[in-house]
Amino acid sequence: MSSHRTGRKKGGSSPVRREMIPWIVVALAAMVVVLVFIFRPGPEVEDSPIEDRLLELAAQRGVPRRSVVVDDPITKVDDAFVRTWRFEFGDRAARDGYVGDLEIEGAARHARVVVPPDLAADEISLLMDFGPEAFDLKMTLASPKVAEIPPTPVPTREPTATPRPQPRPDARGKLAILLDDAGQKDDLVPAASALPAEVGIAVLPFLPRSAETANAVYAAGHEVWLHLPMEPENYPANKPGPGAVLVGMSTDELRTTVHSALNNVPHAIGVNNHMGSKATADLKTMTWVMQELSARGMAFIDSRTTIATVAEKAARAQGVPTNRRRVFLDNDRNAAAIRKQLDEAVYRCRIDGEAIAIGHLDPVTLQVLAEELPGLSARGADLVNPSDLVR
């Protein structure tokens, strides 16, 4: 009897469990949907550099990258750098579409986008403000193109060398000479001090004899310049030395670097760059450097270690007296080559009216200059201080 009742209970409970299975499946499916909703990834935010994104969006609207004028200029407003970029669109629809693209991109990057009120104008300016950095995007419409008349074919002929212009027999010019890399040792200081006082001496900072060299040549009547190390290409494999200005520095780091170097070289009236093929091509870095030089009343001579340099442009924008090197005297350190380069410097100053030549505190260079400088005036070159040619 007892066994029979137990069997009925077991048989009666099975339908109840079978009826619960669909509800369990539904509940599990609902939980999966909720979990997917909670943990699904958010909308993708573009993490490419904003510069690349601006160029990419412009290209999609028919503006090729090579036609975009970037950082013309960079200005500092309060604590923010404002970078001016210029675009020329083929038609109004493409330009207005780009404005819409920028509004979407700005929202994705949490930037403040200020759209001009009058989109009917042929030239508009849109601001994308990221806080420490902002972009002033100036957009114009291309002028209608006039059909071009094919040029008349020119008969081909063998190329001939263009004759080099020759200065007038009575032409005179001003020549300044600046000798770099002083401060490593003082055995060449007496020979440098004995040169005409107009020859400037550029002293590297933080070397064993930096301050002593600056004091000695200053006492001999020479101008002292800070030969400021700056980041070259292939850094850090190619090292500029202690106290270098690097492209990745913050404003405060750069200000401290420039001030420390100037304080390490007494009597300096200006700066020229040591190396710096990467730093002098970076407009933001050069703008910061020139702001510091402007605050201290310093001049700047661009050694032009790269054709991509923007150092002069940045100096003039910040009101820093400036000029550039026209001739390197001693890349080849032998007397004949140095004399040839000095001849070139004399030629350039007579043709252009002035020239700055840069050499090094090197025994052969010092010997050639000691022999050649006394006869410079008779050749039509007036030796002047480097500071006389910055403006």
Structure tokens at 153: 């074919």
pLDDT tens-digit map of 298-343: 999 999 999 999 999 999 999 999 999 999 999 999 999 999 999 9
Asked if residues 68 and 55 have their Cβ atoms less than 8 Å apart, the reply is: yes
pLDDT at position 43: 40
- 213-240: average pLDDT: 97
Q: What is the 3-state secondary structure (H, E, C) of the chain?
A: CHHHHHHHHHHHHHHHHHHHHHHHHHHHHHHHHHHHHHHCCCCCCCCCCHHHHHHHHHHHCCCCHHHCECCCCEEEECCEEEEEEEEEECCHHHHHHHHHHHHHHHHHCCCEEECCCCCCCCEEEEEEECCCEEEEEEEEECCCCCCCCCCCCCCCCCCCCCCCCCCCCCCCEEEEEEEEEECCCCCCHHHHHCCCCCCEEEECCCCCCHHHHHHHHHHCCCCEEEEEEECCCCCCCCCCCCCCECCCCCHHHHHHHHHHHHHHCCCEEEEEEEECCCHHHCHHHHHHHHHHHHHCCCEEEECCCCCCCCHHHHHHHCCCCEEECCEECCCCCCHHHHHHHHHHHHHHHHHHCEEEEEEECCHHHHHHHHHHHHHCHHHCEEEECHHHHCC
pTM of the predicted model, to two decimals?
0.63
* Tens of pLDDT, residues 237-248: 999 999 999 999
CA dist., res. 247 & res. 232, Å (int): 10
Residue 271: how many other CB atoms lie within 10 Å: 31
Domain ranges of the chain: 50-141, 173-389
Sequence-distant (6+) residues with CB within 8 A of 142 are: 88, 89, 90, 91
CA proximity to 243, closest of 268, 260, 265:
260
Q: Which of 25-34, 78-87, 147-156, 221-230 has the lowest mean pLDDT?
A: 25-34
- Angle at alpha carbon of residue 61, lines to 142 and 93, rounded to 5°: 65
Average pLDDT for the chain: 89
Residue (of 351, 326, 354) closest to 341 by Cα position: 326
pLDDT given for residue 150 in this prediction? 76
Q: Is pLDDT of 189 > 50?
A: yes
Query: Spelled out in words, what is the top-level CATH class assigned to the domain 50-141?
Result: alpha beta
pLDDT for residue 140: 95
Say if residue 1 is exposed, middle or buried (CB neighbours under 10 Å; 0-12, 13-18, 19+).
exposed
pLDDT at 286 (0 to 100): 97
Q: Per-residue confidence at 290, pLDDT binned at 50, 70, 90? A: very high
pLDDT tens by residue, 246-273? 999 999 999 999 999 999 999 999 999 9
CB 300 within 8 A of CB 271: yes
- In CATH, which of 3.40.50.1980, 3.40.50.970, 3.40.50.11890, 3.20.20.370 is domain 173-389? 3.20.20.370
Is the confidence at residue 5, as pLDDT, over 80? no
Task: Find all residues with CB under 8 Å of 107, minimum gap 6, and list them.
Answer: 113
* pLDDT score at 160: 73
Q: Measuring CA to CA, which residue among 328, 385, 390, 389 is closest to residue 197? A: 385
Q: Is 310 exposed, middle or buried (0-12, 13-18, 19+ CB in 10 A)?
A: buried
